[in-house]
Each structure stands twice: as C-alpha cells, then as structure tokens.
Chains A and B, each alone.
Chain A
C-alpha cells in the first residue's frame, strides 16, 4: 500500500492541481478568474506530461561526447524520455496562444460592458 502511494503520488498532485483549475473555469463568475483557472488547468497538464518522461537514474537527453569522439553505444535507459518534453514545448505555445486570445476577448468584453462579472454583463444584455 505504501509503495503504491509512493509510486503514484505525483500523478495525484497534478490531478488535484488540474481540478483546482477546472473548478475555476466552470465555478467562478469573474471572467479573469476563469482565465486564471484555465491557465492552472493547462499548466497542470504540462506537469503531468513532463512527469511521464522521468526515468530513475536518467539524465538530460543530451548525448555526452557528442561531436569529435568515437561513436559509443548509447544506452537509452540512462537518458530521460525526450518526447514528452517536445510535446509540451508545443503545448506551452498552444496554451500561451489560447491565453492571449482569451485576454483579447476579455478586453473586448470590458470595453463594451465596463465590468468583468458575468452576472452583471447578463443584466446589461436584457
């Protein structure tokens, strides 16, 4: 049981973090709080992916003695998995872009209604 917790607890931390963000997205009424929730959610997903790359005893995926040396047999197990890092580099950019567009839309809303509370905006509309 204790081993089970030790071997899984990092996933649980990220899931808790994700759920905090998720609650912010669907539970909060303020638009900026929703955006912050979105950011937390996405960052937690990044952490989750990165944690899958880890290998016990692995180091950075940069091959030592790269150029100018004799080609040596490279042991994959001694370097961490590079693929999740690459995926998350792409995902970070995607998420930053989403954040940018979200904030642009929030600015457009603020210009029109002078408030960021969803309920007040809805009152405005009717």
Chain B
C-alpha cells in the first residue's frame, strides 16, 4: 500500500504544466487533489513515472461566472465549489449533488476537474456535467479546444483527453429561470460510490433524465414535454437501454429497478420545482 517511485514536477505557471505534459505525455499524471489518484498509486493500480503538481497555481484555482456558466479551473477543490456563495441558486443541481461526493474529508482536497479526468461511471460531477450539457476545456502547448461533456466521456474511466492535454477547466451552465433540478442516488453507505445516481432537469421545453452508475458512462435522455402517463414506459425503455451489469454491489435487475423508481422520483421533483419557479 505504498506508491511506486515517481518524479515530482512543480510547475510555476500553466505554461510549465503544458511543457511538462508535452515532455512526458502518457508517462505523466497531473495531480491536484489526489483523492482518486493517490489511492490508485497506493494500490499500484497506477504507476506514472512523473507527477505534475497543478495544485499550487492560484490562477487555476478560480471559479469564474461568465456567459451563463460556472467555469471551474483545474485546481478548484470540491469543497471550494460546495462553499461558493449562492451555489444553490446559481446551479441547484451541483448544490444537491456535491454532498454525495465522498466525505467532507475528501471534498476538502479533491478537485472538480480531477473527478472529470478520472471519469468514474458512478461519480457525481461527471453525471452533473452530462446532465447540464457542460463543457470540458483542454489545452496543450500548441492549441486549446473545448469538448462537449457527452463527447468527452468515452467509457469506464476513459476520456477524450490526449496524453499531452491538460483539463484546464470545466464549465457547468448556471440555472436558467423557470428550470427545476433534482438529484438522488442509492449507495450501500453514505459517501460510497453510487450503485445508481440520477439527475433530472425540467423546464417548459421538457425534462431530461441522466443516469449514472449503470452503464460505462452517465447517459442523458430527453423525455420531451409530454404528459406523465407515458412516463413509466419511457423509464422502462431507458432502464433496458442501459448496459446494466451484475457485480458485487448489485444485480443488473436491481439497477434497472432503481433507474425506473428513482428516475420517476427525480423527474417529478424537478417538474414540481420548475412549476413553482414559473408560477
């Protein structure tokens, strides 16, 4: 339970992080909070030759509100977002999902972008990014690009990040007026990875449901603005369209059942909140 040896790079600027990534590529991992990476190092599931410390640059630890988005830099800790003044009105989905991430002791150090980079299929922050149709901002020494969340997550712990790219920031859209949000998850114990996690976003245009923990990535479904009488069938179709699997924690059938029931629950919660906002 001790990490293998690695070199440790302390960049003094964003440019130096990008230089180190260009030099070391897939031999390197960027570390900021380390709340997922260090367990993997300790268990030697990950053995990078080089760690690049991104936690010390104040420029990368900013949350900026711009053009209807919260842009969260790669050194922003989860607790920092959790404690953002008025987060519950700026983006209620994040305010409701963050308390489910690990524990207060891990949120104090874990970063938002680290969770996005790790891409665990049951993690809350990737799920919220997909539910809100947010974006991932990537940069190399030569170019910058922005990828939509749904295109970024490719599979279980697999993303579209190239080895020389830094996840510089992610953008979560802020709440539009008249929109309702709900989040729920089921786990064995509080703070465990979710067996199933669901988020619903409802507005006058319709409602979407995003399901995490079941398939290789969290998946978002548009349910339109239809009446509730077709909802059970729609949820059943969603549950069966996900590639649910049996594992140590739960059976595939249990995951489908939770998707249907918890999905229905959050959809009704989000719709009720949207109706309250509009009245």
Partners in one complex: no
Residues on A lying within 8 angstroms of B by beta carbon are none
